[in-house]
């Protein structure tokens, strides 16, 4: 078994170098396929960050009456933070709300005069709630409605919940997120299928040049695995080399694009590439090895039939 394994390895390396031009063509095709897949991964990450930024700008606001007790407000805030759908709860006190109002309308003389004429702060405290996913705002709004319905009429706490005002915006954002995710998934599937077909046909042409050698090996009684082994090794070599080359091509492009993507998307794509390099390396090289290996197995199968 060890002797056969060594012969398979030697035959694989010899075949790789003996058909250098065919090997280069196969590596080139797989490199292009992996480069496209890698580029799609980077674009998909930028889309994810963009959607997260859009989602972060959407929230539900709970406005409290000016007479609401701090204990009641804290109790509701704690209950919201305990919900599995809630990502963040931001509390704004009456004093903070007044300070923000003054800062926002400081150039509006009429508004400032009207505020000064009041003897007390007319603004109530507020809570801004961000969900973990856009689709979860409906559940949060239902919870808030239940809390408001349980209040004592003579001692209200919640003045208004603005979910109804933002329902259309949230629905549109959810539709955009769903459309982008579907488009990204379909694009990746199409690219992977195209990469498989192109790689398979290229490697099949490479194996076609060795068809007479395969026939002779079959005639002398070589096993299918012994015949298939060298081509499988070559397929793995194609995938590893192509994966490394694809990463080397991506590197300078991402270095150049990094500052630009940080300005437009808030994410330096090169920093992401470096921070997640191990996963990206394993993914691209793994796909390359799988493409080369599976294509080699399928391409040589036709010549193993009696």
Q: Where are the domains of the chain?
A: 2-54+174-304, 59-163
Of the pLDDT bands very low, low, confident and very high (cuts 50, 70, 90), residue 45 is confident
Q: What is the dihedral of CA 105, 108, 112, 114, to 10 degrees?
A: -120
Return the higher-pLDDT residue of 229 and 270: 270
Among 13-17, 195-199, 271-275, the least confident range: 13-17
Residues 52 and 69: their CA atoms lie apart, in Å, by 34
| Mean pLDDT, residues 232-255 taken together | 90
Task: Using the predicted structure, report yes or no on whether residue 304 has a pLDDT greater than 70.
Answer: no
CB of 297 closer than 8 Å to CB of 232:
yes
* DSSP-assigned states of every residue in 181-237: HHHHHHHHHHHHHHHHHHHHHHHHHHHHTTHHHHHHHHHTT--HHHHHHHHHHHHHH
- Strand segments, DSSP code E, in 49-174 are 60-64, 86-92, 126-131, 158-161
Cβ within 8 Å of residue 127, ≥6 positions away: 61, 62, 64, 73, 76, 77, 80, 89, 90, 91, 92
Question: Per mean pLDDT, which of 22-31, 45-54, 70-79 is the most reliable?
Answer: 70-79
Structure tokens at 70: 């701090």
Cβ within 8 Å of residue 245, ≥6 positions away: 27, 31
Nearest to 236 by CA among 40, 13, 5: 13
pTM score of the predicted model: 0.68
Return the higher-pLDDT residue of 222 and 82: 82
Residues 28 and 34: their CA atoms lie apart, in Å, by 10
Residues 19 and 12: their CA atoms lie apart, in Å, by 11
Question: Per mean pLDDT, which of 41-50, 85-94, 105-114, 296-305 is the most reliable?
Answer: 85-94
Q: Return the axis-axis angle of helices 224-265 and 277-301, rounded to nearest 10°.
A: 150
> Alpha carbon of 287 to those of 32, 59, 94, 150, 240: distances in Å?
12, 40, 57, 56, 9
Return the higher-pLDDT residue of 16 and 74: 74
Predicted local distance difference test score (pLDDT) of residue 277: 92
CB of 242 closer than 8 Å to CB of 195:
no
Task: Using the predicted structure, report yes or no on whether residue 291 has a pLDDT greater than 70.
Answer: yes
Residues 60 and 5: their CA atoms lie apart, in Å, by 65
Nearest to 144 by CA among 128, 155, 121, 133: 128
Of the pLDDT bands very low, low, confident and very high (cuts 50, 70, 90), residue 7 is low
Model pLDDT for residues 174-228, shown as the tens digit of each residue = 787 778 778 878 877 887 777 777 777 777 776 776 667 767 776 776 666 767 7
3-state secondary structure of 147: helix
Of the pLDDT bands very low, low, confident and very high (cuts 50, 70, 90), residue 303 is low
Of the pLDDT bands very low, low, confident and very high (cuts 50, 70, 90), residue 66 is confident
Task: Using the predicted structure, report yes or no on whether residue 237 has a pLDDT greater than 80.
Answer: yes
Task: Using the predicted structure, report yes or no on whether residue 160 has a pLDDT greater than 60.
Answer: yes
Question: Per mean pLDDT, which of 45-54, 88-97, 227-236 is the most reliable?
Answer: 88-97
Predicted local distance difference test score (pLDDT) of residue 1: 60
Predicted local distance difference test score (pLDDT) of residue 161: 85
State whether CATH 3.30.70.3040 applies to domain 59-163: yes
């Amino acid at each position: 078994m060890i002797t056969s394994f060594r012969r398979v390895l030697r035959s694989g390396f010899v075949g790789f170098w003996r058909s250098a031009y065919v090997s280069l063509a196969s590596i080139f095709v797989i490199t292009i396929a992996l480069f496209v897949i890698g580029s799609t991964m980077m674009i998909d990450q930028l889309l994810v960050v963009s959607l997260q930024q859009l989602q972060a700008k959407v929230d539900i606001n709970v406005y409290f009456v000016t007479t609401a007790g701090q204990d009641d407000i804290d109790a509701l805030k704690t209950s919201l933070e305990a919900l599995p759908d809630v990502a963040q709860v931001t509390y704004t006190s009456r004093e903070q709300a007044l300070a923000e109002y003054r800062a926002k309308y400081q150039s509006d003389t009429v508004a400032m005069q009207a505020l000064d004429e009041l003897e007390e702060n007319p603004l109530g405290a507020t809570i801004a709630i961000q969900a973990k996913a856009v689709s979860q705002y409906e559940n949060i709004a239902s919870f808030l409605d239940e809390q408001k319905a349980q209040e004592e009429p003579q001692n209200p706490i919640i003045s208004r919940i603005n979910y109804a005002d933002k329902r259309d915006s949230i629905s549109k954002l959810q539709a955009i997120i769903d459309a982008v995710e579907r488009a990204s998934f379909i694009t990746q599937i199409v690219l992977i299928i195209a990469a498989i077909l192109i790689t398979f046909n290229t490697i099949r042409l490479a194996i076609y040049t060795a068809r007479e050698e395969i026939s002779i090996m079959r005639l002398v009684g070589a096993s299918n695995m012994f015949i298939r082994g060298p081509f499988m090794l070559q397929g793995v070599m194609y995938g590893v080399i192509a994966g490394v080359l694809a990463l080397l091509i991506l590197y300078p492009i991402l270095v150049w694009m990094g500052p630009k993507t940080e300005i437009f998307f808030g994410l330096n794509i090169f920093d992401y590439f470096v921070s997640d390099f191990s996963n990206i390396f394993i993914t691209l090289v793994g796909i390359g090895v799988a493409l080369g290996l599976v294509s080699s197995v399928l391409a040589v199968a036709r010549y193993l039939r009696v």
